[in-house]
Amino acid sequence: MPQAPFNLVHLTDFHLFQARGASWRSFLNKRCLSYLSWRLHRGKINSPQMLSALLEFLPSLASDQVVVTGDLTHMGLPAECMRARRYLARIGPPDQVFVIPGNHDAMVASARKAWRDAWQAYLAADHHRQDSGRNSDAASYPAVRIRKGVALIGLSSARPTPPFSAAGRLGEDQRRRLAAILDQTGRQHLFRVLLIHHPIVRGQVRPRKSLRDAEALRTILHQYGAELVLHGHTHRHSHKDLPGPGAPIPVLGLPSSTADLANPDKKACVRVYTILPVKDGWRVEAHDHRLSSRGHGRPAHVTTAWSFGHTRPNIAP
């Protein structure tokens, strides 16, 4: 179990865009639709300035680990992946920053090599399987990091999909390994944090944006439990519960970390979960840090705090 407070920082969905320099052949696929969506819509919302301003908070947050839950890029272009890496380097060293991919990063099959190469150290688990990363994410996930009694379990739901689909899927192999990892880390009484790009509670997104095997994942969680699930993809705050073996499992999503919007539900935010050891379990406190202006000037911030109350290891009695 954690012996000391653990600060876990959550960021997500940077949607960094950089089309300049890419060959026109790069857009002879689904990317042309994402390019249009950027020009018509998302480019007016997502501003890297917001992320830069939020990162000014980071040194004051005393984070033990920062997690980024996918869609770091808008189209999975190599230049976007490198741009994301420069932001990751500002966030912290790879052993303190843990990244999983999102559907935008994996928009086309050829994008996989670009993000894996650019973020390799930030994607890395504590231990590499022999087949890690060889052919597909199905072979290299879940990726697990264990730090001070906290197990960070990264999943990859990112895979190329047809035009107009933003769906995700884990696949049977990844789910099978996840069940074994949850079982083992639960028995060790680690605080298990599941990281996944797509939301996993029914009805959170339309079918074309959903996790195809969410039902199978919920079944695994119901059997083996987890203490916390963090996701991206929805670009808004959400807090739902899923049934676990001993207690409900909190499932939380955040807005895009570059969203320059007035609506507090969708405005960029850094969240810090402080996992505090208490007798027989943990108490979790969350602090949200937002900019009070729209990404310009000094990042005077607004903090909101709330708590989950007490949690015992959420495993079968």
Site residues (CB under 5 A) for Fe ion?
13, 71, 102-103, 233
The nearer residue to Fe ion, 42 or 218, going by C-beta atoms, is 42
The nearer residue to Fe ion, 6 or 38, going by C-beta atoms, is 38
Tell the smallest beta-carbon distance from residue 313 to Fe ion (Å). Answer: 31
Tell the smallest beta-carbon distance from residue 287 to Fe ion (Å). Answer: 23
Give the DSSP letter of residue 186: H
Task: Specify whether the CB–CB gap between 72 and 105 falls below 8 A.
Answer: yes
Tell the smallest beta-carbon distance from residue 232 to Fe ion (Å). Answer: 6
- The single residue listed with the structure tokens 């997502």 is 46
Rounded to an integer, what distance in angstroms lies between the CA atom of residue 270 and that of residue 142? 24
- The single residue listed with the structure tokens 């022999």 is 130
Tell the smallest beta-carbon distance from residue 47 to Fe ion (Å). Answer: 15
The nearer residue to Fe ion, 109 or 278, going by C-beta atoms, is 109
Tell the smallest beta-carbon distance from residue 42 to Fe ion (Å). Answer: 9
Give the DSSP letter of residue 151: E
Task: Specify whether the CB–CB gap between 186 and 224 falls below 8 A.
Answer: yes
The nearer residue to Fe ion, 13 or 64, going by C-beta atoms, is 13
Contacts made by residues 177-181, CB under 8 angstroms, sequence distance 24+: 177/141, 177/142, 178/142, 178/153, 178/217, 178/220, 179/220, 179/223, 179/224, 181/142, 181/144, 181/151, 181/153
The nearer residue to Fe ion, 115 or 308, going by C-beta atoms, is 115
The nearer residue to Fe ion, 258 or 314, going by C-beta atoms, is 258
Give the DSSP letter of residue 255: -
Q: Which residue is nearest to Fe ion (CB)?
A: 71
Tell the smallest beta-carbon distance from residue 266 to Fe ion (Å). Answer: 12
